[in-house]
A and B are shown apart, each in its own frame.
Chain A
Amino acid sequence: MKYMLLIYGNESAILSAGKAETEQRMAAYGAYVEAMKKAGVLLGADRLRPTSSASTVRVVDGKTKVLDGPYAETKEQLGGYFIIEAPDLDAALSWAARCPGASHGTIEVRPIWAM
């Protein structure tokens, strides 16, 4: 099955982190991605730019409405995702637990519709 691991975290804390801390985080993500590749589970991944760069679009009564900012103002923001192939939910959950973001924020695990 395919799963998406959605990484939620406190964006402002991440952006205001010091150089050493940021380097450490990047290194941890690097090792995590490497481990996923070696295990043959990684199908795709992206890191998102901060929510300050986000816009939302909605078409109401034929009129396009564009707003500045993310879909919802929340304490933790979506910062990126991984798409993995895993035999079952338990396997997906154990990959999610290894994600460096899981120790600071929350990883949402969502199965992906098979097309």
Chain B
Amino acid sequence: MDLTYTPKQDAFRREAREWLAAHVPKQKLASMDTGEGFAQHRVWERTLNEGRWAMVPWPVEYGGRGADLIEWLIFEEEYYRAQAPGRVNQNGIFLLGPTLMEFGTPAQKARYLPRMACGDEIWAQGWSEPNAGSDMAAIRASARLDGDHYVLNGQKTWCSRAAFADWIFGIFRTDPASERHRGLTFILVPLNAPGVRVRPVPQLDGETGFAEVFFDDVRVPAENRLGEEGQGWKVAMATAGFERGLMLRSPARFQATARRLIALYRREKAAADPVLRDAVVRAWMDAEAYALNTYWTASRLIAGGTIGAEASLNKIFWSEMDVRMHETALGLLGPHAELTADAPANADRDGWLDGFLFSLAGPIYAGTNEIQRNVIAERLLRLPRD
């Protein structure tokens, strides 16, 4: 055990810090869930890619640096320390990207990964349907093979980023006689294909972070299939694992939130309810624990270990921590907590209200926390199935 960084890791951190200091936009970008903000965030992704910082763990040929997991965590720490913009292509770079590395053909990797890294193609996700939420195996949207094309029909919903994205990935039923998780296939679809209709849906914060997507005889080439036909569930579970696990919610994000919370506490503590002191220190400890757990897991993975159902432990921890931290912040803001950003009297310059609303999605998306608890109980604790 050695919890100090090597000179190489220190040098990597310095390089990232210096580049970010020179390139992070001085002016905060508009929300990525508005047309204007989405475009600004796409420009930022290009800038990152030009510095070869878009996805440091990826191989050099796809725009990465071949960094290991520890370097990835260091980069993320610096990224959040620099208060750099959110990653508008997170569905692509954090979820589909790793899935392509695992299941994609060489041609698919070459086709999709570089354009993903530079932000030319921004991805939405298409898992859920109106009747397939927690019960994702109830999927009905279909894909019928017609010559060298699939013909897609049906509806996906809660498709994050779909309002402005270029592509969507999702699973479709290719075998009409199949049931549950069999007979599904993972397919990549351009959102400008004829027959695709996108209906943006306003979220709790009023912005259109997700959308419904309708498919009406949409033709996509068969080569847009990721993995084998009928193996879509397996591919999707790998993607979901990345979503719950290490990549999407790196600890630096929550450590940055904890630091901002401490700053807010110092500003407001004279007027604050004393119980909030414990809540603030708990937030700091939780963020620290999450970081330590991530380093612990990363060390295990570097040594050849794997992560499976353990990702469900992660997902519950970070999503509930995020809600608690934002609730604490709203408590500290007192009567100002209900004011939106444009209210003249709003003393909250950190967007805690928007952060709070966003945090509430955490225990729901990527598999609700109740589903995660079932996974933990049955697959880690080995309790009997229902």
Note whether A and B form a binding pair.
no
Query: Which residues does A use to contact B, with CB under 8 Å?
Result: none
